[in-house]
Copies of this chain bind each other. A is one copy, B any other.
Amino acid sequence: MAYGQTFPRWRVAAGDHWASYTEHAFVAGLGDGTLPRAAFLHYLAQDYVFLTHFSRAWALAVTKADSLSEMRLAGGILHALITEEMPLHVRTCAGHGIDEAALFATEERVENLAYTRFVLEAGHAGDFLDLMAALAPCVLGYGEIGARLMPKAGQTPYREWIEAYGGAGYQGVCVSVGALIDEAVESRIGAAPETSPRWASLCRTFRTATRLEAGFWDMGLTP
């Protein structure tokens, strides 16, 4: 999936890390159904903690927006995370026998903490665009994974997960976020972003976040 002009360029700049993340054994296991259920449930619980910090990162984006459209889009994603995606996790976990109390009591693993704090801190240290480069691998990588696994969704026990990210709703979010990033790039470093002195730094942030996403899957495999 392209999701705009900037994302494909950042993806190339991430080199092999992009495949290490999006074609990880955990992802393959979701796709062919071989992922052990214990690993999936462990991942879900960690991902719930992840989403609380990811929501905070989108809230931070609202504080760093330069325009009403940036503010509205970031605010809209925050709203969807708090009112839809997090409750969906609670319901999915409940369906697998993990009640909300257990979910809340989840101890955050280091790989999880590393990722979310890196994203938040990239936002605090830099501007809106730096934060977008740190947020992009998660938002858009999940879109890419969901879209790729979508044709197989019916054959695995992880159908609901695949449809959540491969379905039209989430794919639409990815298109919007891709456009938001393109506009944030153009309004800050111009129409030829690769010629900007900031380009290398943005690619580095995207690449580090991609490495940390791969580490999150590694963690998922070791409950």
Contacts and interface: CB of A to CB of B under 8 A. Distances in A.
A59 interface: yes
Given A52-B68, A75-B79, A117 B121 contact: yes
A99 B126 CA distance: 29
A125 to B, nearest CB: 5
Contacts of A82: 71-72, 75
A75 B60 contact: no
Contacts of A160: none
A124 interface: yes
Interface string A181-205: 0000011111000011110010000
A118 interface: yes
A110 interface: yes
Nearest to A59: B62
A211 interface: yes
B121 A66 contact: no
Interface in A71-104: 71-72, 75, 78-79, 82, 86
A56 B52 contact: no
B56 A110 contact: no
Nearest to A57: B63
A124 B114 contact: no
Nearest to A72: B82
A212 interface: yes
B62 A78 contact: yes
Closest 3 CB pairs of A and B: A114-B114, A59-B62, A117-B117
Interface of A: 52, 55-57, 59-60, 62-66, 68, 71-72, 75, 78-79, 82, 86, 108, 110-111, 113-114, 117-118, 120-121, 124-127, 130, 186-190, 195-198, 201, 208, 211-212, 215
